[in-house]
Chain A
């Protein structure tokens, strides 16, 4: 029974990180209707920027966190401007391939600047762990869960209640009609990327605090898993990303603990396939009837 709870806690810890990353994925997909495969690598860059800020520029942790968030938001806007904006009218496949290219570009840039060996992430967050009976829950896990939930709520409110959010929904619905109504599509999509990448920076801080080590390929696997989580929960749906991420983390850890540590990925993706067969829009995805 102890094993069960220990696994549940480690699943929650992993799942909350996936959820945090998946929020960024789903946000960009929901508005710009594109899969930003470079999202995972922005997380890696975010983590390195914290390392540089704290270890080399000796910034206080709080300042480093804000610098990293601002840096990633700017990076997101620049990536969008240079790589995706020229392809606004191109078929979505071209954009997808470009995103994969950006992902490799970021990985290799990081490799050039920081080398290929892993670096450790400074301990900028130290929270006491909570003990329930014999089970210990780390403070970072709780903080990640709380932050993810808060971001989920704020994002939902932002998209549904603010003027910028309304513009985002309009652009997502129909770009040309939105333009005709006086909404600047380019600016709206830029803002979306800025927010998505800022979320990546937040994710990088919790990732670094949980897993301690960062290397240039750090972002790619969690990125793919979080993308899976976003699809699992219903891509484009913000609560879906959170639910999908947490479930994915729990499934992964349970299959590691009870089935096989090497088969866990196969099991995770098999669950995804089953969900998509039964419910093609994901757990919380809305059914959209395409007009032909």
Chain B
């Protein structure tokens, strides 16, 4: 038994060294000039792993497509995605590791908290940070080289209230949100602030946390008793599908459910498509949209990931890579001419227009993107453009 332990320790040690050599992650050797290293950080394990994996998977599809088509101005993209488990400190450490490994463009973080930490840590590096999905209002604060693909939370909350106000939708609204994530509470806050101006009466506010996201019967009862005609639910599709399956049959048939980009992918996630009848989505990305680039992306994603339907996060990851490609091309950065890489690519960000799967995007110097959300409604398991 003692020998066995010794041998297995030895074996492990050999394995570790071998894996170091094979993966060449032990550093030291310089990367080739014609490789564009894009570094991502996000939760690949732990409670938020689905978001990190979605972004990574979406970005990988774009990288594969671009590399297969010959790369960008002679560069081949290498995506290096590190796990943060959703912890900001680990995210900064992962960012540092990526910088040591010659990262040239950063995808920031996946979640808002970790992105804010990376954005602050990267302040003096000058590197372009393009976060696919960190939507908290202040996630980009204090760094001129930080941009995002998604909407900010407040801009989405405001758009939702304005849309409801401007269109013929019920004005007695219940709110159902998750109060321990920035995304959901940020959206709710912005919605609440602009509700009055749009003639919206919030009749009841119900919430949950990530520890209490399986049983929504008490919240459903409260909404039933409130007389609400529409439920504003700025939450993610996983929790929404749980909510909708428990709510099935509890509300009047014409009850409307109004969600934002977090709800995208809901049709593929509910156990029974009848659950998501009358769900309205204010979203820049809908996997069900007919646009050619969207369908191309959805098909590629399904093929690569066991028929899984890409969600908002995957779409954001995909668009981030194409935005980097556009900026590289705009700045005319080539393998031979890559001096002042950072300042040139950052400057190009405000000049590009990207027709991505999450809409037609341009960027402001503040890092915010300008794109139009569309509103879809789900009828009989199919999302269609909503005509108020």
Contact = CB atoms under 8 A, between A and B. Distances in A.
Contacts of B306: 115
A14 interface: yes
Contacts of B209: 262, 265
B214 A116 contact: no
A265 B50 contact: no
A184 interface: no
B315 to A, nearest CB: 15
Interface in A12-30: 13-14
Interface in B49-67: 49-50, 53
A156 interface: no
A7 B253 CA distance: 23
B219 interface: yes
A7 B207 contact: no
A92 interface: no
Contacts of A264: 212
B208 interface: yes
B215 A14 contact: yes
A155 B95 CA distance: 54
Interface stretch (B28-36, B130-138, B237-245, B349-357): B237-245
Interface in B252-295: 269-271
Contacts of A117: 50, 238, 269, 308
B49 A212 contact: no
Contacts, number: 83
Interface residues of A, number: 30
A257 B218 contact: yes
B211 A265 contact: yes
Contacts of B207: 261-262
Contacts of B53: 115-116
Contact of A211 (B211, B214, B222, B270): B214
Interface string A80-120: 00000000000000000000000000001001000111101
- Which of A10, A13, A116: most chain B CB closer than 10 A? A116
Contacts of B343: none
A213 B47 contact: no
A111 B217 contact: no
A256 B208 CA distance: 10
Interface string B205-246: 011110110110111011001000000000000100110011
Contacts of B332: none
Q: Which of A211, A218, A222 has the most chain B CB atoms closer than 10 A to its own CB?
A: A211
A221 interface: yes
A213 B242 contact: yes
Interface string B116-127: 000000000000
A115 B214 contact: no
A261 B238 contact: no
Interface in B300-340: 306, 308
Indicate the member of A111, A215, A256, A264 with the most B CB atoms within 10 Å.
A256
Contacts of B212: 221, 256, 261-262, 264-265
A211 B242 contact: yes
A253 interface: yes
A146 interface: no
B246 to A, nearest CB: 8
B238 A10 contact: no
Interface string A2-14: 0100110010011
Nearest to B48: A116
B181 to A, nearest CB: 12
A217 interface: yes
Nearest to B179: A262
Q: Among B179, B180, B209, find the residue whose CB has the most chain A CB atoms closer than 10 A.
A: B209
A117 B180 CA distance: 19
Nearest to A212: B245
B311 to A, nearest CB: 8
A213 B241 contact: yes
Contacts of A218: 214
A211 B215 contact: yes
A120 B218 contact: no
Interface string A150-163: 00000000000000
Nearest to A256: B218
9 contacts: A3-B225, A10-B218, A115-B306, A117-B50, A123-B271, A213-B214, A253-B217, A262-B207, A262-B209
Interface of A: 3, 6-7, 10, 13-14, 108, 111, 115-118, 120-121, 123, 211-213, 215, 217-218, 221-222, 253, 256-257, 261-262, 264-265
Given A3-B225, A7-B221, A115-B53, 6 more contacts: A10-B217, A111-B45, A115-B308, A213-B242, A262-B179, A262-B180
Give the 3 A-B residue pairs with the shortest CB-CB distance, closest first: A120-B271, A116-B50, A10-B217
